[in-house]
Amino acid sequence: MSEYQDKFSKIIDLLEDQAPQGLSISAIARELGMNRATVSKYLEMLQSSGDVSMQRFGRSKLYTPAQRVPLSELFDRLSNAIVILDADLHILMVNTSFIKTLGIHRERNLIGASLFDLNLRIFSDPAIRRNIERIRQSGTYLAEMQHIEDSTNHIYLLEFAPTVSHVGKPGIMISLRDITAWKNAEAALKNSEKKIRTIFETVPSGIILFTGEGTILNANRASLEILGLRSFQELMSGNIFAISCYKGKVTELIRQGKVAETELACDFDRLRREQRIPSTRSGIAYFDIVFTPITLDGGGVPHEFAILFKDVTTERLARKELAFKE
């Protein structure tokens, strides 16, 4: 394979020297002292890999180096900080982001320097150094690692990959980026979710999540206690419409798809008889509810809904009795 790579390199170097003028197979074979058939085979391989381009002029084929975006320009525009090392861990290439991220003086000449001799804080981490050595020795290595810089508390994500140059020489590419903001946002989101779960479980009002078809997705402990149930599975045997004596009211709330406050009644005797929901309550109960659609960030038609409800049966019956006495 190294012999092939050597021939590939010679052909590409010759084409670059003659560019923009193209060379024929015969001209390449003559300049390099190679067999024409062999050159033709190598050129086919280089063309298939995108390293050379071919144009036809009559029956002749003229080859030129492939026209690509300059690697150095593309390399410098990448947001990730990247360094490419040779087999001896000397620097072959670095991009601008690498210099900025690690706070390296631009006047410093990095090309050809040993990575471990630069005294860069992130590469003084023994775990990172061992991982790089594993790649160098073709051993088992981690493709990704995270590193916390003690002096700044910045968190970096490092990615590692072995590389091979177009002439077959092994190397290592290391990419790193500062993920501190992302990690902080992730921690804040988890903290927020924890607070929401705490509220969901401790609020005295019942909360039930359900679909537009009435399927109950989740419910908090308070909702089970209010409905006289022991487990979520007991509630799941019915649907949101079964809880209300007036299915049409819930259906209309879903159709309107907007936040609303209203009252619902539940006949627990019918609930046990028709829906086989084993509530410990009996008779008719009344609930004040807040209905809300659950929409994603992108908006659109909601497919999930929630009700927050509290039992107002005692107050309702007291008002009714007071009104009767008056």
> Has this prediction a pTM greater than 0.75?
no
What is the distance between the alpha carbons of residues 311 and 279, in angstroms, rounded to a whole number? 15
Domain that holds residue 145: 71-182
User: Given this model, what pLDDT does residue 106 score?
Assistant: 72
Segment 95-123 shows an average pLDDT of 86
Question: What phi, psi does 36 have (nearest 5°)?
Answer: -60, -40
Give the percent of the chain with pLDDT over 70.
Answer: 91
Q: SS3 for 84?
A: strand
Residue with the bigger pLDDT between 73 and 10: it is 10
Domain final position from 41, 65, 89 = 65
User: Given this model, what pLDDT does residue 298 score?
Assistant: 59
User: Which of the residue ranges 54-68, 210-224, 245-259 would you say has the lowest mean pLDDT?
Assistant: 54-68
Same domain, 96 and 155: yes
Kindly give, in sequence order, each residue whose CB lies less than 8 Å from that of residue 266, ignoring residues fewer than 6 positions away.
Answer: 227, 243, 244, 245, 284, 285, 287
User: Given this model, what pLDDT does residue 132 score?
Assistant: 96
Same domain, 115 and 210: no
112 inside domain: yes
6 inside domain: yes
15-65 tens-digit pLDDT: 888 888 888 999 999 999 999 998 988 888 888 767 788 888 877 889 888
User: Which of the residue ranges 5-14, 70-79, 151-160, 296-305 would you say has the lowest mean pLDDT?
Assistant: 70-79
Domain final position from 34, 65, 96 = 65
43 inside domain: yes
Segment 63-70 shows an average pLDDT of 73
Q: SS3 for 179?
A: coil
Instruction: Name 297's bridge partners.
Output: none
Same domain, 258 and 298: yes
Q: How many domains does the chain have?
A: 3
User: Given this model, what pLDDT does residue 42 score?
Assistant: 87
Tokens describing residue 219: 């419910």
187 inside domain: no
Which of the four pLDDT bands, split at 50, 70 and 90, describes residue 238?
Answer: confident
User: Given this model, what pLDDT does residue 21 score?
Assistant: 85
Give the percent of the chain with pLDDT over 90.
Answer: 41
Same domain, 90 and 29: no
Segment 94-104 shows an average pLDDT of 88
Q: What is the mean pLDDT of the chain?
A: 86
Domain final position from 12, 36, 65 = 65
User: Given this model, what pLDDT does residue 9 score?
Assistant: 84
Which of the four pLDDT bands, split at 50, 70 and 90, describes residue 1?
Answer: very low
What is the distance between the alpha carbons of residues 95 and 72, in angstroms, rounded to a whole number? 8
Please determine, for residue 157, whether its predicted confidence score (pLDDT) is greater than 60: yes
Please determine, for residue 95, whether its predicted confidence score (pLDDT) is greater than 50: yes
190 inside domain: no
Same domain, 91 and 172: yes
Same domain, 167 and 248: no
45 inside domain: yes
191 inside domain: no
Same domain, 150 and 252: no
Same domain, 213 and 304: yes
Q: SS3 for 149?
A: strand
* Structural contact between residues 15 and 63, judged by C-beta atoms closer than 8 angstroms: yes
User: Given this model, what pLDDT does residue 167 score?
Assistant: 58
Same domain, 248 and 306: yes
Segment 133-156 shows an average pLDDT of 92
The residue among 44, 25, 48 whose CA lies nearest residue 35 is: 25
111-133 tens-digit pLDDT: 889 999 988 889 999 999 999 99
Q: Look up the CATH number of the domain holding residue 48.
A: 1.10.10.10
Please determine, for residue 142, whether its predicted confidence score (pLDDT) is greater than 50: yes
Same domain, 59 and 109: no
296 inside domain: yes
Q: Look up the CATH number of the domain holding residue 215.
A: 3.30.450.20
Same domain, 37 and 111: no
Same domain, 18 and 97: no
Kindly give, in sequence order, each residue whose CB lies less than 8 Å from that of residue 160, ignoring residues fewer than 6 positions away.
Answer: 131, 132, 135, 141, 142, 143, 144, 145, 172, 173, 174
